[in-house]
Amino acid sequence: MIHVYGVPGYGSTISELMLTLTGVRYNFINVDGFDKAGPNHDLLEKVNPLCQVPTLVLDDGEVMTETAAIALMLLDSHPEFAPAPGSPQRHRFLRLLVWMVANVYPTFTYADYPERWAAGAPAQLRESTARYRETLYRWLEEQVEGTPWMFGNDISLLDCYLPVMRRWSPREAWFAQHTPKLNAIADAVCGLPELQTVLRANQIL
């Protein structure tokens, strides 16, 4: 069975939603406190020297990290959770999947640990990344192609990011006001019966 190292509500939630949606069973290992010195830091660092969640250990012992890579891995065996290969939508899916982790995710990395990157101006870095993230979400809003999902009728693994990231800054009220389409997708993911348990375990509901 796959082992997921994570913390409720953290980025590991995105991978838990993807695994649950595709029906892949996993064992959750809570490494709360991993980002400070202590036993969970040591536990996680042994499998992932970067010490980030999600970190997965697969059936064969292989370590898998990066939510986008996890999505692509799951699509190998569950292709129905993304637009069909070769289609224009597939290209847009791939673009936005990588865009999300290359652009939006780092704004949290910098804002969560601002003293790591700008020891002399942590509040300024937190503020500037928050503003920049809003511009990213406003652009993403324009890319939404339909309802109820990002690509219209069929859910894709990209949709799994939205309810989790919406819980982080700038939070639900901002999304409802400024990016109603993203907000509706997050709501739709939150409404899926098969995800209720994992959403509750991660305090998304």
Ligand X SMILES: N[C@@H](CCC(=O)N[C@@H](CS)C(=O)NCC(=O)O)C(=O)O
Cα 26 from Cα 20, distance rounded (Å): 9
First to last CA, the chain: 26
- Using the minimum distance from each CB to ligand X, give the nearer residue, 40 or 183: 40
- DSSP letter at 157 equals G
If binding is defined by CB under 6 A, does position 28 make contact with ligand X?
A: no
Residue recorded with tokens 């804002």: 111
State in angstroms the smallest separation of the CB of 96 from ligand X.
13
- Using the minimum distance from each CB to ligand X, give the nearer residue, 144 or 165: 165
Binding test (CB under 6 A) with ligand X, winner from 101, 104, 136, 184 = 101
State in angstroms the smallest separation of the CB of 113 from ligand X.
6
26 beta partners:
2
Question: Strand runs (DSSP E) across the chain, as ranges?
Answer: 2-6, 26-30, 55-57, 63-65
- Using the minimum distance from each CB to ligand X, give the nearer residue, 64 or 184: 64
SS3 (DSSP) at 162: helix
- CB 161 within 8 Å of CB 186: no
Interface with ligand X in residues 31-90 (CB under 6 A): 35, 51-54, 66-68
State in angstroms the smallest separation of the CB of 125 from ligand X.
14
If binding is defined by CB under 6 A, does position 11 make contact with ligand X?
A: yes
- Closest by CA to 110, choosing from 90, 135, 129, 136, is 129
- CB 203 within 8 Å of CB 6: no
Interface with ligand X in residues 109-138 (CB under 6 A): 109, 113
Q: How many residues bind ligand X (CB under 6 A)?
A: 14
- Using the minimum distance from each CB to ligand X, give the nearer residue, 39 or 180: 39
- Using the minimum distance from each CB to ligand X, give the nearer residue, 11 or 83: 11
**Binding footprint of ligand X on the chain (CB under 6 A):** 10-11, 35, 51-54, 66-68, 101, 105, 109, 113
